[in-house]
Amino acid sequence: MNNESKDRIHSISICFPAYNDGGTIASMVLTARIAARQITDDYEIIVVDDGSRDHTSAVLAELFQLVPELCVIQHPQNRGYGAALTSAFQAATRDWIFYTDGDAQYNPLELSRLVNGLRDSVDVVNGYKTSRNDPWIRILLGGIYNWMMKVAFGLRLKDVDCDFRLMRRAIFDVVHLESNTGSICVEMVWKIQNAGYHFAEVPVSHYHRQYGISQFFNWQRLLRTARHLLILWRDLVLKKELAKISAWNLPTSSKKNVH
């Protein structure tokens, strides 16, 4: 174990949202176990099976017998990426939370890169993809999405769409998440940023999807996520700006009472 990493991380909850990831989730859990042992003796691995229709639940049942640190949460029906993440975060009990997806497009062994990015003032270490191993259309649309979210929400990250994050668990005593779709990532980054927490960023690898079907071009999901993003922008950004305008239109004698 790296003693320097151990000094930075005393305990960690490793979280995986999983949906139809039966071909990859076992390797992700076992690799996460190796990654955790490199940085601490005190860890747990939480997998949320979000109503998978493949053999994910059967694989997790076998893993549960083999990995004592594993906690499995079952959603009887698919509730969405955001709901899976929220369930994992609520179940987490350690000082730090690390999460990535169960589809093996990121390598849990690179958790050490996030840990090495920690400083005393840092609350979140966010990965950013050095290159994206996806079909060209997804790379193009992903770049457009990343730019639009940074502009629309004022996010100050290189890669908003990189689900490879290490965060203090105490953040979620202050920040409460509501999104059930993939829009939770934008909501999470915006709320953490605007609560005054500090980010660091480190490069991480991104791999070609080897198993299963990406939900990216599920048009129903895309439309639902787009709708939720518009609602998020209205509730988080527009209402905040309107409140500022209203405050400055108050009589001068009343402005001292506006926070």
Q: Kindly report, residue by residue over 201-231, the tens digit of the pLDDT.
A: 999 999 977 765 555 556 677 787 888 899 9
Residue 59 lies in a domain: yes
Q: Is the pLDDT of residue 235 over 70?
A: yes
CB atoms within 10 A of CB 240: 11
pLDDT of 258 strictly over 70: no
Q: Domain containing 82: what range?
A: 9-221
- pLDDT of 211: 62
Nearest one of 157, 166, 160 to 142, comparing CA atoms = 160
Average pLDDT of the chain to the nearest whole number = 89
Q: What is the pLDDT of residue 101?
A: 96
Q: Is there a domain that residue 255 lies in?
A: no
pLDDT reading at 250 higher than 60: no
100: in domain: yes
Higher confidence at residue 18 or residue 247? Answer: 18
Q: Which residues pair with 97 in a beta bridge?
A: 13, 167
Q: Is residue 114 part of a domain?
A: yes
Lookup result for tokens 């747990």: 44
Q: What is the pLDDT of residue 214?
A: 56
| Confidence (pLDDT) at 141 | 83
Domain tally, the chain: 1
Is the pLDDT at 255 greater than 60? The verdict is: no
pLDDT at 72 over 70: yes
Structure confidence at residue 251 (pLDDT): 57
| DSSP secondary structure code for residue 108 in this structure | G
Alpha-carbon gap, residue 226 to 124, rounded angstroms = 26
- Which are the contacts of 48, defined by CB distance < 8 A and separation ≥ 6? 15, 16, 17, 18, 73, 75, 84, 85, 87, 88
Instruction: Detail the DSSP E strand segments found in the chain.
Output: 12-18, 43-50, 70-75, 96-100, 124-129, 164-168, 199-204
* Cβ atoms 95, 12 nearer than 8 A: yes
pLDDT in tens, 164-214: 999 999 999 999 999 998 899 999 999 999 999 999 999 999 997 776 555
Is 259 inside any structural domain? no
The CA distances from residue 141 to 31, 43, 183, in Å, are 30, 36, 15
pLDDT > 70: percent of the chain? 86
Angle, to 10 degrees, between the axis of helix 184-194 and the axis of helix 136-153? 30
Separation between Cα atoms, residue 126 and residue 237, nearest integer Å:
22
Assigned domain for 234 exists: no
Residue 97 lies in a domain: yes
Could you tell me if residue 246 is inside a domain?
no
Query: How confident is the model at residue 256, as a pLDDT?
Result: 47
The predicted structure's pLDDT at residue 254: 47
CATH for 196: 3.90.550.10
pLDDT for position 109: 98
Q: What angle do CA 127, 194, 201 make, to 5 degrees?
A: 15
% of the chain residues with pLDDT over 90: 71
How many other C-beta atoms lie within 10 A of the C-beta of residue 65? 8
The DSSP result for 64-93, as a single string, is HHH-TTEEEEEESS---HHHHHHHHHHH--
pTM of the model: 0.86
**Tokens read off for 216:** 């990216």
Strand partners, 201: 126
pLDDT digits over 96-134, tens only? Answer: 999 999 999 999 999 999 999 999 999 999 999 998 867
- Mean pLDDT over 7-11 rounds to 84
